[in-house]
Chains A and B, each alone.
Chain A
Amino acid sequence: AQSVTQPDIHITVSEGASLELRCNYSYGATPYLFWYVQSPGQGLQLLLKYFSGDTLVQGIKGFEAEFKRSQSSFNLRKPSVHWSDAAEYFCAVPNNAGNMLTFGGGTRLMVKP
């Protein structure tokens, strides 16, 4: 079955520093991959998605993610983190039938001033 793993439960970075959040997937064919962000007490917002084509995907809020088939990874990056980026981030992949998403356990990002 399709699945995603987010190895880091918590990450702390300084404001202005670069960020990379890891996501590893298990997928039988060409993967569809998603990154979501959840601010405290809010729902999930889609940051970006990968379906096919260019392996570097641009999203909202200055985020990007790179699909690497050889590493089974879809890591989320941002060159300069802002305090407002403090949130929880979820990687997701569709199930076999494609009718729902399976989420990783999430990575909580804290930003130091």
Chain B
Amino acid sequence: SQTIHQWPATLVQPVGSPLSLECTVEGTSNPNLYWYRQAAGRGLQLLFYSVGIGQISSEVPQNLSASRPQDRQFILSSKKLLLSDSGFYLCAWKDGQANTEAFFGQGTRLTVV
């Protein structure tokens, strides 16, 4: 069966520091991969998605970037964090078929101080 791993679960980082969040999927190949963010009390905001290695689409211009160095690995990064980058970050995957469901990781709570 497929599983998705996301780490770390919690992170406290100072303003201006770099960020790297990692997400890996097991039990499937060539998944679509997604990074979402939830600000406090807000809904889900899609940040990036990827349909293949090295293929990244950005939904919202911001201080963050994403990379997909391997088929089942998706990384969210920042060179210099801002206070506004605080939030709950969720990685998700779905298969390549149209209109199927997505499966989510457990999330990373990022607090920028």
Chain B facing A: main interface SS: strand
A41–B92 Cα distance when bound, in Å, is 15
A106–B88 Cα distance when bound, in Å, is 15
Is residue B51 contacting chain A, with contact meaning CB distance below 8 A?
Answer: yes
A34–B101 Cα distance when bound, in Å, is 7
Assess the B32–A99 pair: CB atoms within 8 A: yes
Scoring B residues 34 to 48 as 1 if CB is less than 8 Å from chain A, else 0, what string do you get?
100000001110100
Segment 1-42 of A: residues with Cβ below 8 Å from B: 32, 34, 36, 41-42
Is residue B99 contacting chain A, with contact meaning CB distance below 8 A?
Answer: yes
Assess the A44–B49 pair: CB atoms within 8 A: no
What's the tally of chain B residues with a CB closer than 8 Å to chain A? 25
Assess the A42–B98 pair: CB atoms within 8 A: no
B24: min CB distance to chain A, Å: 14
Residue of A nearest to B46 (CB): A100
Is residue B7 contacting chain A, with contact meaning CB distance below 8 A?
Answer: no
Given that A34-B101, A43-B104, A51-B99 are known contacts, is A103 also in contact with B32, CB under 8 Å in the complex? no
Assess the B44–A94 pair: CB atoms within 8 A: no
Is residue A46 contacting chain B, with contact meaning CB distance below 8 A?
Answer: yes
Residue from B90, B94, B96 in contact with A44 in the complex, judged by beta carbons closer than 8 Å: B90
